[in-house]
A and B are shown apart, each in its own frame.
Chain A
Amino acid sequence: MPVKVGIAGLGGLGSNVAVMLVRSGFTDLVLADFDTVAESNLNRQAYFRKHIGMKKTDACAEILKMIDPDAEPETRDVRLNEENISGVFGGCSIVCEALDGAEAKAMLVNTLLSEMPGTYVVSGSGISGWDLPEGIKTRHVFKRLFVCGDGISDTGDMHAPRVTVCAGHQANLILRLIYGMEDEKIE
């Protein structure tokens, strides 16, 4: 079965993960977000000034098609909750958790791991501030859960460098899963 990857949240983590996956030649994506692009997003998210006011799902899909015109990402303009998550990401064998709030992250991860047996989750947690990025790591914490980030720095004060480092960790791990480079650990 071909691999499909879901991206939950198209902010600093999700929009940059999507761009890196498409640049790497992987385009079978489901993009989920309810929000629109704001000027304050431009310090770290993949969008351009012309996207302000546009749905993040549409703006992100447009950017991906600028990189690869053959990319046909599926878009879901929806606020994720316990009831709709398994439907939104149905058929995805990997989901990138890239939401903003800690409670929302926990809700998404719990719902995916409980309701979608076989789906791997690659979460981002701890990306704020200006600390040296060595603390941002990829950790294999549960059988089907990887967490990237420093695990400590909380919301607010987010900037492109560390956010992009963490997005790179997530995109790299997703590609390792797609191409079987994590098989020894997850079997």
Chain B
Amino acid sequence: MRANGKEIMVREGTTLHEFLVSAGYDTSRVAVELNGSVSPKKTYKEVMLKDTDHIEIVSFVGGG
């Protein structure tokens, strides 16, 4: 799988939520684009990742 431009291994059947948590992301602070479409937050625990996926993750920090 390609994540933020880097090739990484992902176990078949891993959910988007599991991947984000294992990679150290706080899921309440991120936005995710999977294969060119934004993943709504409520789908994170249902979406299964595949080896061919392209994922972009943005993690926001506070201050405005």
Is A98 on the interface with B (CB-CB < 8 A)?
yes
Q: Closest CB-CB distance, A56 to chain B, in whole Å?
A: 12
**Contact yes or no, A106 B28, CB < 8 A:** yes
Known interface pairs A113-B38, A114-B38, A114-B40. Does A102 touch B62 (Cβ–Cβ under 8 Å)?
Answer: yes
Q: Closest CB-CB distance, A44 to chain B, in whole Å?
A: 10
CB contacts (< 8 Å) of A11 on chain B: these are: 64
Is A9 on the interface with B (CB-CB < 8 A)?
yes
Q: Closest CB-CB distance, B38 to chain A, in whole Å?
A: 4
Which residue in chain A gives the minimum CB-CB distance to B43?
A114
Q: Closest CB-CB distance, A186 to chain B, in whole Å?
A: 13
**Contact yes or no, A106 B64, CB < 8 A:** no
Which residue in chain B gives the minimum CB-CB distance to A149?
B61
Residues 28-49 of B contacting A (Cβ, < 8 Å): 28-31, 33, 36, 38, 40-41
Q: Closest CB-CB distance, A129 to chain B, in whole Å?
A: 9
Which residue in chain A gives the minimum CB-CB distance to B61?
A154
**Contact yes or no, B58 A142, CB < 8 A:** yes
5 A-B pairs within 8 Å (CB atoms) are namely: A99-B64, A100-B64, A105-B60, A126-B61, A142-B58
- Give B residues with C-beta under 8 Å from A: 26, 28-31, 33, 36, 38, 40-41, 56, 58-64
